[in-house]
Amino acid sequence: MDRSKLYRRFRTLLIANRGEIACRVIRTARAMGLRTVAVYSEADREAMHVALADEAVLLGPARARDSYLNVERLIGAARKTGAEAVHPGYGFLSENAEFAQACFDAGLVFVGPTAAMMTAMGSKSGSKALMEKAGVPLVPGYHGEAQDDATLAKAAEKVGFPILVKASAGGGGRGMRIVRSVDELAPAIVSAKREAKAAFGDDRMLIEKYVDNPRHIEVQIVGDSHGNLLSLFERECTLQRRHQKVIEEAPSPTLNAAQRETVCAAARKAAGAVNYVGAGTIEFVSDGKDVFFIEMNTRLQVEHPVTELITGIDLVEWQLRVAFGEALPLKQDQIKLNGHAVEARVYAENPTKNFMPSVGKISTWRLPAETGGLRIDAGYREGDAVSPYYDAMLAKMIAWAPTREVAIERLNRGLEESDVRGIVSNIPFLSALMTHPKVRANAIDTGFIERELAVLTQAPPAPGELELCAAVAAVINNERQAAQADANSPWQTFGWMPVGRRQRNFTFRVGHGPEQKVVLNYGSGPSTLVIGERELAFAIAPRDGGFDLTLDGVKSSVAAVIDGHELYLRTRNGRFDLHWVDPFGGETEEQAGADKIAAPLPGTVVAVLAEEGAKLEKGAPILTLEVMKMEQTLRAPYAGVLKSIKCKVGDIVQEGIELAVVEPSGE
């Protein structure tokens, strides 16, 4: 293959992706003087990456298969805009050898490895065979071509339970199931194949021994077209949920210097087996003593910023320079490790409802400034819509410090100062994770989050005196701000009441809990708030995103968001959602049936797991939806008879649509 066609200088780069990674690539490309082209679907017309690029091309409808996964339309977008190169980001087609080859055939530079390298290393099965020949240690398992049920079952029996059933293509935990007994194997394979086919267009599976108390360690490597291949230290990604990484850090706090060199040397050996060119990651699993190769990701990883912060190297810049045909600017001994970095993935999801994705419009987007070792890679802004069609990651927050302890503190402070409203985010969950003593002590494995889920998702404390006073202050502050546009508004005078009263009553509650009352006294002398028998002098000083509240001489900073009668507050005690009871009545309660079997989000019915007329136990599976590329199984809310199913496989259903009816058994 002619290297001048593979690697050459270009001026216009098309980013075949969306969200945070598209924004990340655009920023570095523009800093290097390149012209950038974004692509988007109907759902992403107003997206942040579209606004950042120099040009943007509509690919098609919202569904990824009709837009971001459509190779012909992506190549067409490059031709329309005069783009000479394509950066695939991660996810979507980033590890698709056919796409890499299609770019080459169209005369485009693909910013990544060749199709042949991708085929050799991007397939979990193929890469394991290659590593076996190269002498890289492997987890015991099956990675053969035969994919029939009998072969997979026989392989599982030979390896011994528990095992992992894993998609050969792709990553991110999709198409992966832990199987602990032979009875679980067949349904796990069916589900994993279906999910892998939907996410990656490839349902080939491999069987792997499940390592007890595993730790996930990976090494960043970069190769150029001149034969140079470097490792940029390792990352630890042990904090996972359902095989999806939640927190990543670099370097690994588990390895000592000798172990670090051993695993990095193994990674260079693995990548060297295919003379790898571009950025990639060699992934390992450790049982506490030994380290085993599990796969290679032939692309940039979501967690690459932690490596950038400890090395001072912009990996996207290096990707582009390699694609230009340049040699890597440093030698192995010139790459120095400096400090520690920790990254948290901020998702639109509800941890208290089994991490159900959250869709809707972002009404409030407040993240701290990128100072003091804090970095934020975001793909959304205030006013943007989170759709149900794609991965729900909103942003990544990364903190650097000289030590792991300080890096964790900086990251947690950044999370505590973040407020995202309109959709539900996992920010409180991430903060709970960062403050968990076992995380700080590095006493974790990949099953840690599942074991500690009840602690990590426990309900916030009940609002106390500070929060009730802050709620009153939030209402008053909001009224003042609304009045600023009207010079004649009586609300410009603090505490004004239409009949000249010098007292105002407020009532709040949390959810459907008991009402709590606060009385505001104002007029001559200092204003006070009365809660029960306590009377406190108070004052408000507005500031961006909230106000400073002084109670009996103690000043506290409060973040506040008001949407109608719903109040969100962040005080020194945590985050609180309160309802301001309408002082003029008219309160209505939504009678949402908890027993209704309805689509939690827009999605596609991919499996019907029970028949009409069947007797069901509470929790029995009824049907499976594909939502945001992940499968969600809807279950019977109580014991009874499945009276009807109102959908079929392949149906695209909207949020709230009733999908099945269970008639209670009456027991």
Give the closest residue to 526 by CA, choosing from 542, 534, 538.
Answer: 538
**What is the helix, strand, coil percentage profile of the chain, to 5?**
30, 30, 40
Print burial letters for 28-60: b (CB count within 10 Å at least 16), e (below 16): bbeeeebbbbbbbbebbeebbbbebbebbbebb
Whole-angstrom distance, CA of residue 485 vs CA of residue 476: 15
The active-site residue, picked from 24, 177, 204, 299, is 299
233 and 306 in contact (C-beta within 8 Å)?
A: no
- Is-catalytic flag, 575? no
Task: Report residue 579 as tokens.
Answer: 């309802």
Whole-angstrom distance, CA of residue 385 vs CA of residue 633: 25
18 and 49 in contact (C-beta within 8 Å)?
A: yes
Secondary structure of 559-586 as H, E, C letters: EEEEECCEEEEEECCEEEEEEECCCCCC
- Residue 373: CB atoms within 10 A of its CB come to 18
Q: Which amino acid is at 380?
A: Y
| Paired strand residues for 216 | 285
192 and 204 in contact (C-beta within 8 Å)?
A: no
Residue 194: phi and psi, rounded to 5, are -65, -45
Give the closest residue to 559 by CA, choosing from 436, 415, 380.
Answer: 415
299 and 94 in contact (C-beta within 8 Å)?
A: yes
- Residue 66: CB atoms within 10 A of its CB come to 15
Measured CA to CA in angstroms, residue 615 lies from 112, 480, 593, 596, 623 at distances of 53, 59, 21, 17, 15
Burial class (CB in 10 A: 0-12, 13-18, 19+), 138: middle
Ranges of beta strands (E only) in 348-470 are: 349-350, 356-357, 360-361, 364-366, 374-378, 385-386, 393-401, 419-421
Residue 276: which residues within 8 A CB-CB, separation 6 or more? 113, 117, 121, 221, 223, 229, 298
Task: Report residue 360 as tokens.
Answer: 């809707």
Taking the CA atoms of residue 211, residue 242, residue 99 and residue 37 in that order, the dihedral angle to the nearest 10 degrees is -130
Largest CA distance in the chain: 88
Q: Which residues are catalytic?
A: 299
